[in-house]
């Protein structure tokens, strides 16, 4: 056997070491241990980022490495350019400014939130190249396969001089990003809100971190999961009643994930009232993969909830979470430890149900939040809202759903995750939620995507719930029945009006479609008085004063 | 139907406050007396022009009532809207009910109607004072989502008594108006804690501008209205002089305060930040000795 002579196996490590040497000389005497002053941030980035590098910039729905994002827009494009950005969420204007100056040219991401409109325009003009749009788990996974970052720019609450990081309750994506970067010859730079002698707990060990920069101001956190109960409508209360009686009770759903809309907030606020009156305490909703929604406080206080693992935290919930360690995952310091990657995996594999809202549903049951003028991406719903084909452990709800599916699709016994899409037949501005063709098709054409961006595929959806009733798609014999079941709960939308009346009545007789009255629900009982909290203040009261809402949610 | 006053419509409030089936409406929606100005501007109209007026009874006492609907243009007062309230108040002068109830929820003048709206609001003020002069107490209730602002804020203060909830807001310029005119540094209308401690029910009560503060329930408002009617109307020179003294005293004591919390501290509240979370009973009990009205020495 012939061995190649002097084959070099540590190119990447040598490259990292050269970058670190450049950084040390650029920082000169200003570098203390791993601490770089904020004035030197741009020089640091210029010395460790090379043209064409893959750079992961942390930022999700909540925590943002916003200072580092701004610093990156200020590097000299002659020195740093053509970067390939990796980001969970394109949230800040700076994230897109990078492409206008040529500092970056390609992005792989998961969700674009408020920048969705500008992103679509920039794609249209050819200013930015999108590698792919992912789910969170998918993107994190690629960090360990073919999109490993050369440099990761992350955010933490505090650090010590050795680079140990404390992320506080918003750990979120940090561990996944750093794990992939630090162990594959990458460089990790953290912006921190404060420097301390000793961090309250070590969320990231210091030897995985190369530099820490005390940020001139605390990183931005968006309170994205606070839903003011005052804005929940009586239609939403009715839909929540149908969900609880028709689905949660029917399948004995104990382990679940909720979307973030007002529809599911209504369910959360009906647990201690309506669900309790049906004798469901202890029988449903005990274990959750969920952000710490303030709307969960009454259900937690009423003893419904045994455990919640969270993707991230929520502003104002810190003291409440710290005082409920039986429910939330907390560190020895008392504050919550969140982790998006683990919670997403938990939501996919360990939950029996996902329920959430959407913008459009077609007649196959495919649903999408894409509109023509916005590229919004996927986030986490696609993983939560998909049957976990790799799941092997059984639970009563999972088995029951599997049995229902096998009525018309015989095969070896296996379970099925419940995936529920909950929508009012008309959205705001009278846009119908049920459409013949998703806007996603047009967006795919416009943005040159290989496939239409579908949030949840029709074959993953088990139930569609509207104010008109519940369509159980598991019980449909064929595609034609499926379509009529969907039309049967589509109300006065064009799709609903186009239903085959006889077939829909037949589906109702078979329990494939269940209306409120079929479930024994009197619509007149659907009042806001059923909500365990009707205002943010009621939530504060329910928490015993521990929940401290951001001022924008107050009316007192 | 909800038990919350805050969340109710004008018609639900009337139904919830008055004796069952006692309400008779004047110029109901069926008569379609709508705004001519909105029609000119091709704006949508409401068949009652956003206000319900009529007569009924509360605890057996005959009353006249007007209820503004915040859901239509924020309860803004147009020409027809104002004329309905004024006509009801003038009829009260003639027919002498036990009281007039004004359930106010309004941003003030309807800008689309310009001068006609302004005149309407001033006519409401004059009519309130005419009713009181004729011996009919005028009771105002404020507890809706849009508060009571603009000229109708002044009209409210012309009444015999104001009943407010913590969620209720009373003022002249609304938060957004102040921010637009004076800048966000002066007043951040999105800082809702700031908004409520400036114009919210608790602060208005502590300043002595509202006579009763109640929790947000139909029953609490109803009971407070019944009690206010029984209190009658002190329309004497002495009462007006007391009010004058209160206002002068207030200006002197609190004129240099930058924030309502400074005022509360001066009123003797040891922990002003705790006020926001107090429930109504606790707040009212604690406020007995820490209210601007208490600072007036008996003449």
Residues 189-218 of B with CB under 8 A from A: 190-194, 196, 200, 202
For residue A77, give both structure tokens. Answer: 């494009």
Domain assignment of residue B146, yes or no: yes
Residue A404: strand, helix, or coil: helix
Q: CB contact, 8 Å: A540 with chain B?
A: yes
Q: CB contact, 8 Å: B4 with chain A?
A: yes
Q: CB contact, 8 Å: B277 with chain A?
A: yes
CA distances from A501 to A39, A432, A505 (A): 70, 20, 6
Number of domains in chain B: 1
Residue B73: strand, helix, or coil: helix
Cross-strand bridge partners of residue A496: none
Phi, psi of A432 (to 5 degrees): -70, 140
pLDDT at B296: 44
Q: CB contact, 8 Å: A393 with chain B?
A: no
Report the gap between the CA of B36 and the closest CA in chain A (Å): 27
pLDDT at A4: 67
**Contact call for A551 and B193, based on CB within 8 A:** yes
Q: Which residues from B are below 8 Å from A545, CB to CB?
A: 277
CA distances from A180 to A143, A171, A185, A466 (A): 6, 16, 9, 42
- CA A265 – CA A241 distance, rounded (Å): 12
**Contact call for B277 and A529, based on CB within 8 A:** no
pLDDT at A2: 67
H or E element at residue A17: helix A11-27
Nearest-by-CA chain A residue for B203:
A556
Task: Give every CB contact of residue B298 below 8 A, 6+ residues apart in sequence.
Answer: none
Report H helices in chain B: 10-17, 36-40, 79-95, 114-133, 151-157, 175-182, 192-199, 201-206, 218-231, 237-254, 260-266, 280-287
pLDDT at B224: 97
For residue A91, give both structure tokens. Answer: 């949230």
Q: Is B141 a residue whose pLDDT tops 50?
A: yes
Task: Give every CB contact of residue A80 below 8 A, 6+ residues apart in sequence.
Answer: A45, A46, A49, A50, A51, A103
Residue A27 CA, chain-centre distance (Å), reads 38
**Contact call for A552 and B202, based on CB within 8 A:** no
Q: Which of A534, A540, A551 sits opposite B277 (nearest CB)?
A: A540
Domain assignment of residue B49, yes or no: yes
Report the gap between the CA of A528 and the closest CA in chain B (Å): 6
pLDDT at B294: 59
Neighbours of A258 (CB within 10 A): 26
Q: How many CB contacts within 8 angstroms connect chain A with chain B? A: 41
- Reported as half-sphere exposure (CB side, CA atoms, 13 A), residue B112 has a value of 19
Q: Is B187 a residue whose pLDDT tops 70?
A: yes
pTM score, whole prediction: 0.88
Report the gap between the CA of A56 and the closest CA in chain B (Å): 34
DSSP string, B227-295: HHHHH----SHHHHHHHHHHHHHHHHHHTT-SSHHHHHHHTT-S-GGGGGG--HHHHHHHHTTSSGGGG
- CA B209 – CA B171 distance, rounded (Å): 10
For residue B141, give both structure tokens. Answer: 């209730």
User: In 3D, which of A513, A495, A494, A491 has the Cα closest to residue A504?
Assistant: A513
- CA A390 – CA A272 distance, rounded (Å): 34
**Contact call for B7 and A551, based on CB within 8 A:** no
Domain assignment of residue B269, yes or no: no
pLDDT confidence bin for B298, thresholds 50/70/90: very low
Nearest-by-CA chain A residue for B201:
A556
Q: CB contact, 8 Å: A544 with chain B?
A: no
DSSP A109: E
Question: CA-CA-CA-CA torsion for B178, B182, B188, B190, nearest 10 degrees?
Answer: 50
Task: Give every CB contact of residue B174 below 8 A, 6+ residues apart in sequence.
Answer: B107, B108, B147, B149, B150
Q: What is the pLDDT of residues A249-268, one digit of tens each?
A: 999 999 999 999 999 999 99
Q: What is the pLDDT of residues B203-258, one digit of tens each?
A: 999 999 999 999 999 999 999 999 999 999 988 999 899 889 989 999 999 999 99
Q: CB contact, 8 Å: A547 with chain B?
A: no
- CA A211 – CA A188 distance, rounded (Å): 7
- CA A31 – CA A47 distance, rounded (Å): 14
> Burial, A364: exposed, middle or buried (Cβ in 10 Å; 0-12, 13-18, 19+)?
middle
- CA A53 – CA A512 distance, rounded (Å): 53
User: In 3D, which of A348, A153, A331 has the Cα closest to residue A256?
Assistant: A348
Q: Which of A541, A552, A556 sits opposite B166 (nearest CB)?
A: A556
What order do you get walking across the sheet with B24-26 strand by strand?
A: B24-26, B51-58, B61-68, B99-104, B138-142, B161-165, B212-214
B90: containing domain: 10-170+210-234
pLDDT confidence bin for B299, thresholds 50/70/90: very low
**Contact call for A552 and B191, based on CB within 8 A:** yes
> Burial, B105: exposed, middle or buried (Cβ in 10 Å; 0-12, 13-18, 19+)?
buried
The ipTM assigned to this model is 0.75
Domain assignment of residue B292, yes or no: no
Residues 124-183 of B with CB under 8 A from A: 166-167
Domain assignment of residue B55, yes or no: yes
**Contact call for B7 and A534, based on CB within 8 A:** yes
Q: What is the largest CA-CA distance in chain A?
A: 84
Q: Which residues from B are below 8 Å from A528, CB to CB?
A: 2, 4, 7
Q: Which of A528, A540, A554 sits opposite B192 (nearest CB)?
A: A554
Residue with tokens 């008309």: A426
User: In 3D, which of A262, A265, A238 has the Cα closest to residue A524?
Assistant: A238
pLDDT at B297: 40
| Rounded mean pLDDT, B93-108 | 98
pLDDT at A403: 97
Report the gap between the CA of B193 and the closest CA in chain A (Å): 5
User: In 3D, which of B69, B75, B67, B82 has the Cα closest to residue B33?
Assistant: B82
3-state SS, A146-189, equals CCCCCEEEEEEEEECCCCCEECCCCCCCHHHHHHHHHCCCCEEE
User: In 3D, which of A57, A33, A30 has the Cα closest to residue A44?
Assistant: A30
Report the gap between the CA of A537 and the closest CA in chain B (Å): 8
Domain assignment of residue B291, yes or no: no
Task: Give every CB contact of residue A255 below 8 A, 6+ residues apart in sequence.
Answer: A286, A287, A288, A350, A351, A352, A353, A395
**Contact call for B192 and A553, based on CB within 8 A:** yes
Q: Which of A529, A535, A556 sits opposite B276 (nearest CB)?
A: A556
Q: CB contact, 8 Å: A427 with chain B?
A: no
**Of B147, B184, B193, which to mutate for an interface test with A (greatest number of A Cβ within 10 Å)?**
B193
**Contact call for A552 and B4, based on CB within 8 A:** no
Q: CB contact, 8 Å: B284 with chain A?
A: no
Q: Which residues from B are below 8 Å from A554, CB to CB?
A: 192-193, 196, 276
Nearest-by-CA chain B residue for A230:
B7
For residue A475, give both structure tokens. Answer: 């019980």
Nearest-by-CA chain A residue for B275:
A556
Q: What is the pLDDT of residues B23-40, one digit of tens each?
A: 999 999 999 999 999 999
Nearest-by-CA chain B residue for A229:
B7
Q: Which of A540, A541, A555 sits opposite B167 (nearest CB)?
A: A555
**Contact call for B277 and A552, based on CB within 8 A:** no
Q: CB contact, 8 Å: A523 with chain B?
A: no
Q: Which residues from B are below 8 Å from A552, CB to CB?
A: 190-192
DSSP B118: H
For residue B1, give both structure tokens. Answer: 């139907």
Task: Give every CB contact of residue A544 below 8 A, 6+ residues apart in sequence.
Answer: none
CATH code: domain of residue B224: 3.90.226.10
Domain assignment of residue B17, yes or no: yes
**Contact call for B196 and A554, based on CB within 8 A:** yes
pLDDT at A466: 98
Q: What is the pLDDT of residues A308-364, one digit of tens each?
A: 999 999 999 999 999 999 999 999 999 999 999 999 999 999 999 999 999 999 999
**Contact call for A527 and B1, based on CB within 8 A:** yes
Q: CB contact, 8 Å: A525 with chain B?
A: no
Q: What is the pLDDT of residues B42-60, one digit of tens each?
A: 999 999 999 999 999 999 9
Regions of chain A where pLDDT drops below 70: 1-4
Q: Which residues from B are below 8 Å from A551, CB to CB?
A: 191-194
Q: Which residues from A are below 8 Å from B276, CB to CB?
A: 554, 556
Residue A235 CA, chain-centre distance (Å), reads 26
For residue A524, give both structure tokens. Answer: 């007149």
Cross-strand bridge partners of residue B148: B106, B170
Domain assignment of residue B162, yes or no: yes
H or E element at residue A42: helix A41-48
Q: Which of B1, B4, B200 sits opposite A556 (nearest CB)?
A: B200
Question: CA-CA-CA-CA torsion for A440, A444, A446, A449, nearest 10 degrees?
Answer: 160
């Amino acid at each position: 056997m012939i061995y190649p002579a002097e084959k070099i196996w540590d190119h990447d490590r040598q490259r990292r070491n050269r970058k670190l040497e450049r950084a040390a000389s650029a920082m000169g005497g200003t570098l203390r241990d791993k601490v770089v002053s904020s004035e030197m941030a741009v020089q640091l980035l210029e010395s460790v980022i090379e043209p064409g590098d893959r750079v992961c910039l942390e930022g999700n729905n909540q925590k943002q490495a916003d200072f580092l994002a701004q610093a990156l827009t200020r590097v000299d494009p002659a020195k740093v350019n053509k970067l390939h950005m990796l980001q969970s969420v394109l949230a800040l204007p700076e994230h897109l400014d990078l492409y206008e100056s040529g500092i970056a040219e390609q992005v792989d991401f998961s969700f674009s939130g408020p920048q969705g409109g500008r992103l679509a325009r920039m794609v249209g003009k050819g200013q930015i190249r999108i590698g792919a749009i992912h789910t969170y788990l998918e993107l994190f996974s690629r960090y360990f396969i073919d999109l490993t970052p050369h440099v990761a720019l992350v955010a933490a609450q505090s650090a010590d001089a050795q680079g140990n990081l404390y992320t506080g309750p918003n750990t979120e994506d940090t561990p996944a990003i750093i794990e992939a970067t630090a162990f594959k010859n990458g460089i990790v730079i953290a912006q921190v809100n404060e420097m301390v002698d000793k961090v309250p707990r070590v969320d990231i060990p210091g030897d995985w971190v190369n530099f820490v920069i005390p940020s001139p101001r605390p990183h931005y956190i968006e309170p994205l999961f606070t839903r003011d109960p005052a804005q929940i409508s009586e239609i939403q209360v009715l839909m929540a009643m149908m969900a609880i009686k028709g689905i949660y009770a029917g399948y004995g759903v104990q382990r679940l994930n909720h979307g973030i809309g007002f529809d599911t907030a209504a369910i959360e606020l009906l647990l201690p009232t309506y669900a309790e009156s049906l004798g469901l305490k202890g029988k449903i909703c005990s274990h959750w993969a969920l952000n710490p929604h303030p709307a969960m406080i009454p259900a937690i206080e009423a003893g419904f909830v045994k455990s919640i693992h969270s993707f991230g935290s929520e502003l104002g919930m810190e003291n409440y979470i710290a005082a409920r360690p039986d429910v939330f995952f907390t560190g020895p310091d008392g504050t919550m430890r969140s982790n998006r990657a683990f919670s997403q995996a938990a939501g996919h594999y360990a939950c029996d149900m996902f329920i959430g809202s959407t913008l459009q549903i077609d007649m196959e049951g495919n649903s999408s939040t894409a509109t023509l003028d916005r590229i919004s991406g996927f986030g986490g719903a696609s993983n939560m809202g998909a049957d976990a084909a790799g799941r092997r452990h059984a639970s009563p709800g999972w088995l029951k759903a599997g049995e229902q599916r096998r009525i018309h699709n015989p095969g070896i016994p296996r379970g099925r995750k419940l995936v529920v899409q909950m929508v009012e037949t008309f959205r705001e501005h009278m846009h119908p939620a049920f459409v013949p063709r998703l806007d996603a098709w047009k967006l795919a054409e416009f943005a040159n995507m290989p496939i239409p961006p579908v949030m949840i595929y029709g074959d993953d959806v088990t139930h569609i719930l509207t104010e008109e009733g519940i369509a159980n798609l598991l019980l449909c014999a064929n595609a034609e029945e499926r379509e009529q079941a969907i039309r049967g709960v589509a109300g006065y939308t064009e799709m609903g009006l186009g239903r085959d009346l006889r077939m829909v009545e037949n589906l109702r007789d078979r329990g494939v479609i269940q209306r409120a009255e079929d479930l024994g629900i009197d619509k007149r009982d659907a009042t806001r008085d059923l909500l365990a909290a009707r205002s943010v203040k009621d939530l504060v009261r329910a928490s015993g004063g521990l929940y401290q809402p951001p001022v924008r949610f107050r009316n007192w | 139907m909800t038990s919350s006053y805050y969340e109710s419509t004008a018609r639900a409030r009337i139904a919830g406050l008055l004796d069952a089936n006692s309400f008779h409406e004047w110029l109901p929606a069926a008569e379609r007396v709508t705004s001519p100005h909105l029609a000119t501007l091709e704006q949508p109209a409401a068949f009652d022009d956003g206000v319900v007026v009529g007569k009924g009874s509360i605890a057996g006492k005959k009353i006249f009532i007007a209820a503004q609907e915040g859901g239509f243009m924020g309860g803004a007062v147009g020409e027809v809207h104002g004329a309905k309230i004024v006509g009801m108040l003038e009829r009260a002068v003639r027919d002498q009910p036990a009281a007039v109830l004004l359930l106010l929820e309004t941003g003030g003048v309807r800008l689309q109607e310009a001068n006609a709206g302004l005149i309407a609001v001033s006519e409401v003020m004059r009519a309130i004072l005419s009713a009181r002069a004729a011996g009919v107490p005028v009771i105002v209730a404020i507890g809706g989502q849009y508060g009571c602002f603009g000229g109708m804020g002044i009209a409210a203060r012309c009444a015999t008594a104001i009943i407010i909830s913590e969620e209720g807001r009373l003022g002249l310029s609304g938060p957004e108006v102040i921010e637009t005119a004076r800048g966000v540094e002066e007043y951040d209308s999105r800082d809702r804690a700031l908004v409520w401690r400036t114009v919210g029910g608790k602060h208005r009560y502590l300043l002595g501008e509202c006579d009763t503060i109640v929790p947000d329930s139909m029953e609490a408002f109803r009971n407070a209205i019944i009690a206010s009617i029984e209190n009658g109307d002190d329309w004497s020179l002495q009462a007006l002089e007391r009010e004058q003294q209160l206002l002068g005293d207030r200006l002197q004591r609190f004129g240099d305060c930058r924030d309502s919390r400074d005022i509360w501290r001066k009123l003797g509240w040891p922990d002003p930040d705790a006020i926001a979370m107090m429930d109504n009973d606790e707040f009212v009990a604690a406020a007995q000795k820490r209210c601007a009205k208490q600072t007036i020495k008996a003449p």
